[in-house]
Amino acid sequence: MIAQLIDHTLLKPEANRSDIVKLCTEAKEYGFASVCVNPYWVGLAATELQNTSVKVCTVVGFPLGATTEFVKSTEANEAIGAGAAEVDMVLNVGALKSGDTDTVLEEIGLLAEICHVQEALLKVILETGILTQDEKQLACELSVKAKADFVKTSTGFVSRGATVEDVSLMRSIVGPKIGVKASGGIRTLSDVERMVEAGASRIGASAGIAIMQEVLKIPRTSTKSVHDESY
């Protein structure tokens, strides 16, 4: 089922309480895998989604990945304590590009440990649009070594989003046991199908409702959703 692949996402800075409640209502209605919200909204989303199958996902070190390991670990701990079951952390891209693989590995490993001790999943956002092919491969290898649960293409806030080529490359490196999340610019059912065919096992999208309208053959509404964005 397509809905169970989608992290229904709203990360706009101007999103307010009613927007988050609406996001959760939509997620329950369609049976999405999770809602993905900024850390401030985790507690509200957890309350709205209690006693449902929809998980709460949040972001850490978002959107640049350039905060310290301490800050990221604190964010993750607080978010999980508030009800997050999945954490999408942004890779320290600058450290990776500087060749500081020890820092990258240690940071991912620490976040993975924090998540796993508390029965949460960790996804590592690589920001593939600003990485070379070699850097993408290295980032995937480090994520596997550090025991992350997923690698993820993009934040949707920097450069381009997901591509079929990047998803295919990531899947070929991480193998079948780790998830691959495609996110950034996925707006149609065709986009989803192409990403899944390339190896994606989860889709991050703010256009989840529009995608499900295609699945269910419901005419799209002309009103722009508050969720519409590049993510």
Looking at residue 222, its pLDDT comes to: 44
Condensed to tens digits (0 to 9), the pLDDT of residues 177-189 reads 999 999 999 999 9
pLDDT surpassing 90 at residue 17: yes
The pTM of this model reads: 0.93
Print burial letters for 72-109: b (CB count within 10 Å at least 16), e (below 16): bbebbbebbebbbbbbbbbbbbebbeeeeeeebbbbbb
At 35, the pLDDT band (50, 70, 90 cuts) reads very high
Looking at residue 229, its pLDDT comes to: 47
Please tell me whether residue 56 adopts helix, strand or coil conformation.
strand
Q: Name the E strands within 15-108.
A: 34-37, 55-60, 86-90
55, 123, 136, 152: the active-site residue? 152
Beta bridge partners of 152: 125, 181
pLDDT (mean) for 126-154: 98
At 220, the pLDDT band (50, 70, 90 cuts) reads low
Please tell me whether residue 228 adopts helix, strand or coil conformation.
coil
Examine the residue annotation and report whether 100 is marked as an active-site residue of this protein: no
What is the rounded CA–CA span in Å between residue 159 and residue 99?
Answer: 21
88, 149, 166, 191: the active-site residue? 88
pLDDT (mean) for 105-117: 98
Examine the residue annotation and report whether 152 is marked as an active-site residue of this protein: yes
pLDDT (mean) for 194-218: 96
Examine the residue annotation and report whether 217 is marked as an active-site residue of this protein: no
pLDDT surpassing 60 at residue 224: no
138: CB partners within 8 A, 6+ apart: 96, 101
Looking at residue 221, its pLDDT comes to: 59
pLDDT surpassing 60 at residue 223: no
